Structure 1
């Protein structure tokens, strides 16, 4: 068996040490990233993280040698054009930093569009000449106006999922339309024995807060429907019970000290309604006022009983 080159052995050992001494290790895709863009990203992250571009087999060997529990779980992300990123920041922070370094880039041809690429109707900076035929070859409707080539109609030059041809890529670059977003794309990260996927790292604190609020609201609604007595729904349940009890007492003619005012208001309302019916007219202002007073009394009674119920339950 041929002995591996010394530089490979040294590189693997060095990267294994960096992984072992770092808080976070990530496998990132560098597919489609041009050298200048890569150097710009590396420069912007200098002092925060180390980026190692190496073959997948060497990355896997470095992961095997690293003194980290379950670090080999990152091997599942080592495929294609990848690099190793190490640093002493948290995995979510690393993800956000790398996302923040992504840049728009022109297509070269051969890429798959991840969204519809639209060319708007507009005046271009090109004078009449060869560019007219280039535009027309890719399906753009053009005309000459005031000595400039004008794109007359908006067009979807490349639909989502289609391959960007070299001809269309050339036209897009001429029009300064950069459809690609390139950068270090996190595939997976390791921190404190946990493997994080890109999907889990992309969750923001705002999303978590919104999900918790939604879950709480749904749980509370379910508890109310099921009459499940927990502190969060006791006030609403007591108020509901009070209103239902008052309605039942009124319907059954059951008079108590707490609902006598409701009976009086009900009697006034019914008397006025009868009077209005006998006179063939609408309810008098006094009747309307009595109806309003009855409603206020019901609401007040419900609130007072709910407060009293809470005091009794929780002291």
Structure 2
């Protein structure tokens, strides 16, 4: 027996369900659901079953429930969801990894034909090749200025043609031609628009950042803080090593210009007074290293030179 509920009862049940989800989950994906059918939405729910729940509903009802729940619990962070509830959107409550959930949602896309009046989400290009249509269908191609030729009794498109540009509305001729060619150029599914996590709202592109990207951005930030601190002579943890190094250089410079000295400056003074002391140790090694190849070359030459044969070895002399 199917139990039928009145509209008022359905609203109460919906309100209760949304409040429970707000209490249980701290991560919410706001997804656009344009051109998504009920069967497709059911498949998405099955794919996310376990750690995620998809909730659809009227924006006015969701906004009202969020406001009342925020006042009741005192958690004002939920109010950040209200500006995001614009258009045909739904909420995906999840306890899993946000990036993995978004990738799972993107798998459930369904191809769709180009319907008249629909705004194209992408460019539609008709590829060259045999269409399989008989010559009587050439009028469609002529209207759309698509170059064709008759090949073996069928119409063949000569070059690729950009039939519809992104953002343009699909006309009746374009829709009819794509239907005849069996081309379903568009695909639809839930599209993640924003991410809510513990009161913070950010773009889904943030989920694509890797640890290397974060380290690079952090290093850039540290370098900027260091440069600013050094320019203002304001000590910070990032600039401290550079400040100590610069201070040491200044003190050494003063010590070199005056008679004043300290242990850390003695070696510098000694080097400037007689640099040859520091080169002596390396000189014999360099000389020995440079002479080794020459000695080896001479050794090779001696080995390659054949021994001279004397006349006595041949059993006679020049005077015989």
TM-score by length of 2: 0.61
Of 61, 66, 83, 1:76 maps to 83
Partner of 1:276: none
How many Å separate the matches in 1 of 2:276 and 2:176?
A: 83
Q: CA deviation at 1:217?
A: 7.7
1:279: which partner in 2?
none
Alignment partner, residue 184 of structure 1: 190
Q: How many residues align?
A: 247
Tell me which residue corresponds to 1:51.
54
- Aligned partners of 1:82 and 1:126: how far apart in 2? 41
Q: Distance in 2 between matches of 1:258 and 1:221?
A: 35
Gaps of 5+ in 2: 1-5, 233-237, 249-270, 280-289, 291-320
What is the root-mean-square deviation of aligned Cα atoms in Å?
Answer: 4.1
**Deviation, structure 1 residue 171:** 2.6
Match of 1:98 in 2: 105
Counterpart position of 2:145: 139
Aligned 8 A contact 2:32 2:191 in 1: yes
**Counterpart pick for 2:161 among 155, 160, 166:** 155
Extract unaligned runs of 5+ from structure 1: 239-253, 263-288, 290-315
C-alpha offsets along residues 156-205 of structure 1, whole Å, 9 cap, x if unaligned?
11223322224313433544544434211223332222223345445455
Classify the secondary structure of the residue corresponding to 1:61.
Answer: helix
Matched, 1:168 2:168: no
Distance across 1 between alignment mates of 2:133 and 2:151: 10
- Structure with larger Rg: 2
SS in 1 for 2:114: coil
Which residue pairs with 1:24 in the alignment? 27
Deviation for aligned residue 1:25? 2.2
User: How high is the TM-score relative to the length of structure 1?
Assistant: 0.61
Measured in 2, the distance between the counterparts of 1:148 and 1:36 equals 38
Cα pair distance change 1:190/1:223, threshold 3 Å? closer
CA shift for structure 1 position 7 = 1.3
Farther-moved stretch of structure 1 (86-95 vs 156-165):
86-95
Please, which moves more after superposition, 213-222 or 12-21? 213-222
